Amino acid sequence: MKNLVLASTSTLHGQEYLEYLLPLIKSHFRDCSKILFIPYARPGGISHEDYTATAGKAFEKAGLQVHGIHEFDSPHEAVKQADGFFTGGGNTFLLVQQLYRNDLLPALKEAINKGVAYLGTSAGTNIAGLSMKTTNDMPIVYPPSFNTLGIVPFNINPHYLDPDPASTHKGETRETRIREFHSHNPQPVVGLREGSWLEVKGKNIKLKGDLTARIFEAGKEAFEVEPETLLNDLN
């Protein structure tokens, strides 16, 4: 059965990388010896090697080891052999482009559906939705499609940010952007605030963390859901 943790962010303000997720990581991957790290999103342009070292250092604190997918001759084979996945944040366009370039989406989806444990943060969470069309990232590369894994039956907006009533900036608010998305797309969107994550266990999708999440459905008023709410019927 599916077993995913889809976190809005890797890092909370004032904390170290993955710090708030470490207890969760420890239990989520407790039976895993071949955790595959997917560093394709390269935050700030960091190399695959450096990004893998960063993730490795954090996982070490949970007594776990990760291997970067770029270390394998066949990324496809690496996905098939892994008994755990961590896809880190960064640029979603780049992540999705690389996943398509290496034809990894079907294999990744198959493994996840079989129950291989998956952790995503930010861009790595975004790709668990139906499409990457609710990413916040800049389109720095052109992927062959915006369709993603569709492990959950909706879209996710990580790093969800409430409008700042004091702002004088005229760029669109996050809520306006998601309303624009709904002018062209039917699926619901979960606005996942930093510190929140979705726990997917089999058919159950549960909001975790201390904060509410904001749910956007086409043609309806947005609304908040409390932690521990099941989002199974959101589609």
Catalytic residue of the set 131, 159, 182, 196? 159
Alpha-carbon gap, residue 125 to 119, rounded angstroms = 8
Q: Which residue has the tokens 């291989």?
A: 116
d(CA 228, CA 219): 25
Report the greatest alpha carbon distance in the chain: 52
Q: Cβ 99 to a copy of itself, closest distance in Å?
A: 16
CB closer to a copy of itself out of 14 and 73: 14
We find the least distance from the C-beta atom of residue 202 to a copy of itself, in angstroms, to be 30
Candidates 49-57, 91-99, 101-109, 224-232: pick the segment binding a copy of itself (CB under 8 A): 91-99
Give residues 63-82 in contact with a copy of itself (rule: CB under 8 A).
Answer: none
Helices 105-114 and 92-101 cross at an angle (nearest 10°) of 100
Given the residues 8, 122, 131, 196, the one annotated as active site: 122
- Spatial CA neighbour of 212 closest among 199, 232, 228: 228
- The verdict on whether 162 is a catalytic residue reads no
Active site residue 137: yes
- Is residue 145 annotated as part of the catalytic site, yes or no? no
Least separation, in Å, of the C-beta of 143 and a copy of itself?
9
- Closest distance between a copy of itself and the C-beta of residue 24, in Å? 17
d(CA 154, CA 189): 6
The smaller minimum CB distance to a copy of itself, of residues 52 and 134, is found at 134
Alpha carbons 151 and 173: distance in angstroms, whole number: 27
CA distance 148 to 139: 15
Question: Residue for token digits 């702002």?
Answer: 167
Between residues 15 and 204, which has the closer beta carbon with respect to a copy of itself? Answer: 15
Contact residues toward a copy of itself (CB under 8 A) are: 9-14, 42-45, 90-91, 93-94, 132-142, 145-146, 159, 161, 168-172, 176-185, 194
